[in-house]
Structure 1
Amino acid sequence: MKKNNIFREKDIMHYLSRYCDDPKLNVWHLSILTAILALGYRQGERRRIKVSRSKIMQLSHVHTLPTYHKYFKHLQDLGYIKYTPSYDPGYKSEVKLCKKRLSQNI
């Protein structure tokens, strides 16, 4: 395993531990956030992650659109992510993990 990947795994664990400490987040939030982190890890991206709804739903095991939309939007409202949609089929949408929320006292 590359040294860079070990550091990245520590970053993921940092994010996950912060998410788990927030009582406002439930299993659906955590599942979606974990899917986003997994995509970021695969892409080698720490904060700006290319996403598609279908891939997040697949990785998070969220199988209904209403559930996905509700909790994905809630994560935006809570300040954990910033979502930038792409309406061009040739480009994926982007999720930015917000450091500001992670640094706040929860």
Structure 2
Amino acid sequence: MIKTKRLKESYIMSYLSMYSNDPKLNVWHLSILTAILGLGYRQGQRRRIKVSRSKIMELSHVNTLPTYHKYFKQLQDLGYLEYFPSYHPERRSEVKLRRNKPS
């Protein structure tokens, strides 16, 4: 069990290291990405993470929709994540994190 937890933590650290070394990312990007990684850790998911806008906003401390949408969209455009919306009321949307640094 401890080995599995270490694996997940090292996996998260590799993502955080990649994010923090990219000069194109600002504090808002990093906050949103960190919130998504935190959700993935709690769910036991590595790449495909169930999300909701309200939960990401809460965890990232982004308080306005325009700010959230702007930086979330930029993360998609930069290739850091793929977003799979769900319009079903009982299913959450998903975010897929990219493993490699986008070019």
Shorter-chain TM-score tier: over 0.9
Across the aligned residues of Structure 1 and Structure 2, the Cα RMSD in angstroms comes to 1.2
Partner deviation per Cα, 1:49-72 (whole Å, 9 max, x = no partner)? 000000000000000000000000
TM-score by length of 1: 0.93
CA–CA separation in structure 2 for the residues paired with 1:6 and 1:99:
18
- The aligned amino acid for 1:86 is S
TM-score by length of 2: 0.96
Offset at residue 2 of structure 1 (A): 2.2
| Divergent runs of 4+, >2 A | none
Equivalent residue, structure 1, for 2:66: 66
SS at match of 1:59: helix
SS at match of 1:11: helix
Sequence identity percentage = 71
Unaligned runs of 5+ in 1: none
Paired residues in the alignment total 103
CA–CA separation in structure 2 for the residues paired with 1:13 and 1:98:
14
